[in-house]
Amino acid sequence: MDQPLIFQGTQGFYIVNFSSTIGGFVLAKKPSTFGSTFKRSVLNKDTVTKILRTVSESEGFHFYSAIGKPTGESAVSLADFVEKLASVKVQSVNFHYPRKDVEKWIRVVFGDAELAVRLSRIGRIHVGIQGEALRSEITRTVKVRLNELKAAL
């Protein structure tokens, strides 16, 4: 069997493997949370390296304060994102979060579904969060994930 694949279903995430014996996918695990089983399944060296890499400027995250109003700041890695997030005006944080721009960038460019889900939880746990509190929670969440990823290398 190859690397397990992760799929999001209506009741959570499913870990499946392709079975050449039956010529199809076999449910390997359905974790109830993003606990240690899930992390062990996806945190191999190649995955971690992909998530921690620096991308091109065109793939970077470009901060805006509103539609059509770029701030001139962009981030090309998760570590760079944390650094730039600290210095952009809070209007940019308030603009991007409800649009899920950061979550989409992290999921599509770096392939880190776990971090994207953690970021989405901020708004559900802290209903109506914005401003400096939102910036602080996003920063904390990304830093925690960066530490997990670096420890997995």
pLDDT of residue 7: 56
The sign of the CA dihedral 97, 102, 107, 113 is: negative
Q: Write the pLDDT tens digit of every residue in 14-66.
A: 555 555 555 554 554 444 444 444 444 457 899 999 999 999 999 999 999 99
Q: Write the pLDDT tens digit of every residue in 63-119.
A: 999 999 999 999 999 999 999 999 999 999 999 999 999 999 999 999 999 999 999
Residue 93 tokens, joined = 């944080």
Instruction: Provide DSSP, 113-138.
Output: HHHHHHHHHHHHHSTT--HHHHHHHH
Whether the per-residue pLDDT at 10 is higher than 70: the answer is no
The sign of the CA dihedral 52, 57, 61, 65 is: positive
DSSP-assigned beta bridge partners for residue 19: 24
